[in-house]
Amino acid sequence: MADCPIQRRSWPAICVRLRRLRVGSGTSAGDAPWRLAMPFRLYSHEIAFHTPYLAMLAEEAARGFAEARGRFERIPRFADLDPSRASLVEALEVSSIEHGFENWREMEIRMRDVRAGRVDERSIDFFHAVEGADLDAVAGHLDAEPELVNAVASTQKSALHSVGAAEMAELLLERGADPRIETMLSGGTALLHAIVWGWPDVAAVIAAADRAPYNLRVAAGLNDLGAIEDAFDANGALTDAAKAKRAYYRPNYGWFPWAPSDDDQEVLDEALILAATNGHLETARLLVSKGARIDGRAYETTPLLRATFRNRIEMVDWLLDQGADPNGTGWLGGHAKGVTALHLAAADGLDEVIERLQKAGADASIQDDLHHGTPAGWARFYGHPELAERLA
């Protein structure tokens, strides 16, 4: 096993299976290996960063999630693979091919060389500089390698998807960032990414360049009342365009699988969730008048949970005044399953939101489904001991 670059005590069988995959790689002698037209660029040189996500990729493919299966299906080497039997072994190979390598062995050797300083991989520092809002560093990277502006990272996101500050979005767009680049999930533009995260200032900058995917999600996330009105036909039903391109929903791969339906109620409820996330009260009122439900759900969350997540105090007040359930539970990403708004507010030390939730009847004894913790436990875990004492 000495020649296996991913040797670990628990990995010998994986190494053997990877060798077998390389022998039956699906290409004839002398043929060039199949590659993506635009391979992913490395986001991290740490193997431990990639393997948990790839384990989830295999698990989701085995469970039938379309996004995960699509990543296997587009690789000719795995054309005959039964996706219900996908494992980490195959997921490692898929990722390596997506990154432009022939196999995982090549990709891991590259990561080890980068970590040891034997080769340079500018994309890693570039993507992290974008996320860290380091304008000077990003400009320097783009001066040296202009094509990075539209490179797609291991995370399936371009630099513009990774932006958390309006000034960074402006810089990338000035340098030629394409706002129409999507993740593998339809409708997953950088604009939608900003809206889902609740970054209205970033969304406004990107929307000035392009508003794809031009659906009700976008209208709600941008507080565009006119576009919301235009999303309904003469009979009061949502248009096909308003409901189109809604597959994208999770800003990182750690979130749980979900698939949208074509149901008008779900689309309306989701739009209210996005309005709440971004603090757009006028849009929220309009959507409720059109039939959106105060406690409506999409991707296992509610307007109150998302308003709390982004500390939208006015929105929290309005939702509670409209009868939102202060003890409603949902998911937020991969770490928050079965949480209440009080859990989320406690984790972030949001005293004003907590006060409002408690006045509305929030129950501090409810435990989340994943860690079985109360809001007090969440406050303590996230570094708010005094708040934890008050909630206990």
> What pLDDT sits at residue 381?
98
> What pLDDT sits at residue 2?
41
Return d(Cα 130, Cα 109) in angstroms, integer: 26
> What pLDDT sits at residue 65?
86
> What pLDDT sits at residue 265?
98
Look at residues 278, 283, 285, 280 and name the one whose alpha carbon lies nearest to residue 306: 278
> What pLDDT sits at residue 6?
39
Asked if residue 296 lies in contact with residue 272, where contact means CB atoms within 8 angstroms, the answer is yes
Look at residues 316, 319, 340 and name the one whose alpha carbon lies nearest to residue 330: 340
> What pLDDT sits at residue 35?
60
> What pLDDT sits at residue 255?
73
What's the Cα-to-Cα distance from 157 to each of 40, 152, 161, 295, rounded to whole Å? 9, 5, 5, 31
Residue-range domain boundaries for the chain: 12-115, 121-178, 182-391
Asked if residue 293 lies in contact with residue 234, where contact means CB atoms within 8 angstroms, the answer is no
Q: What is the pLDDT of residues 123-134, one digit of tens each?
A: 999 999 999 999
> What pLDDT sits at residue 66?
84
Find the largest Cα–Cα distance for the chain: 72
Look at residues 256, 273, 268 and name the one whose alpha carbon lies nearest to residue 328: 273
Q: Which CATH class is domain 182-391?
A: mainly alpha
> What pLDDT sits at residue 258?
85
Q: Report yes or no on whether pTM surpasses 0.75.
A: yes
Look at residues 360, 358, 353, 378 and name the one whose alpha carbon lies nearest to residue 368: 378
> What pLDDT sits at residue 253?
64
What parts of the chain have a pLDDT lower than 70? Answer: 1-36, 252-254
